[in-house]
Amino acid sequence: MSGTVLVTGASGYIAGFTIRQLLAEGWQVRGSIRNLARADEVRATLGVSAAELPLVAVDLLSDSGWAEAAAGCTHLLHIASPVLAGVPTHEDDLIRPAREGALRALAAAKAAGVGRVVLTSSVAAITYGHGKTDKLYTEADWTDLASPTTGAYAKSKTIAERAARDWMAANGAGMEFATINPGMVLGPVLGPDFSASLEVVKRLIDGSMPGLPHVGFSIVDVREVADAHVKALTVPGIDGERFIVAGDEFLWLDEIAALLKARLGPRAAKVPSRRLPDFVVRLASLFSPPLRFVASELGRRRALSSAHAKARLGIRFRASADSLADAANSLIDAGIVKV
């Protein structure tokens, strides 16, 4: 392909696979990271040279560097997202950088004459605050920000995506825009920066999860998420579209544990088998802030339709069992998990 793509958050999990696919398909790629001191580490993880991946420094909460980052680019993938260790002290610690970063990326793209922007959102901007329901979620659905069950992460993704869409409506003449809304992103790791979703797999196989709460996920492989981003750069006629990117299976955590045991054999020796009663999780959540979110998710099934992504982007999803096995084996092979 011809064109230069700015990929924000180049040190991240999704961005890493996306950059590798872009380069393999002939794109010129520029990446942004927060601290250029990590430039050599990022390139080494991806197996690329400085010539193949020029890196610039930008911060979601600062105007500095954005004009330089976007200059000369034809496309922009805004994948960067705020990352916090543990539960945020205040929800604005997630919401503000998510929203402001999206708006800075769009403003920089506009000033640089970028023709198309693809923003990484999440199914968290779609599925929360609807109560317990068996509905099949589509791109027409939005998370209810007013619901007491909508947590900081879902709020940050929803507010950032809505702000980006409002900005495009007011300022985006001459630009094309789309969002990729992935489910639970799993698959192999490239290095130490991996999706928070993989923490679930890590805790299952390292023995730190004593039992299995009755929660579940719609899984998607990171390689399909990268493919969706790349395809969204060129599919004709994009006009503010959303793309749910998730496999057709919704899996409860005990089903995920069983799949890991079946696929990993002795490597899954520490994976728990016991379902935790809901009342135990709720009681424990009174003393553990991280468990409060888990308690709010008990028994909630969020099934997703990826029909639009399949039809428009031609995405084909591998089996969740394959993504789970690849995730677990790569965490072990990389020495991130000891079994």
Residue 259 has pLDDT above 80, yes or no: yes
From the CB of residue 173, how many other CB atoms can be counted at a distance below 10 Å? 8
The amino acid that residue 240 corresponds to is G
End-to-end CA distance of the chain: 43
Q: Region 262-286: what's the mean pLDDT?
A: 94
Paired tokens of 199: 């923490």
The amino acid that residue 300 corresponds to is R
How large is the greatest C-alpha to C-alpha distance in the chain, in angstroms? Answer: 57
Closest CA to 205 of 260, 243, 164: 260
Where exactly are the structural domains of the chain?
4-187+220-247+303-311
Q: What percent of the chain has a predicted confidence (pLDDT) above 70?
A: 99
CATH entry, 4-187+220-247+303-311, from 3.40.50.300, 3.40.50.720, 3.30.1360.120, 3.30.590.20? 3.40.50.720
Tell me if residue 118 falls in helix, strand or coil: strand
Per-residue pLDDT tens digits for 168-198: 999 999 999 999 999 999 999 998 777 788 9
Residue 86 has pLDDT above 70, yes or no: no
CA 190 to chain centre: 15
- In this prediction, residue 295 has a pLDDT band, given cuts at 50, 70 and 90, of confident
pTM for the whole structure: 0.95
Concatenated DSSP letters for 39-80? HHHHHHHHT--TTTS-EEE--TT--TTHHHHHTT-SEEEE--
Contact between 306 and 228 under an 8 Å Cβ cutoff? The reply is: no
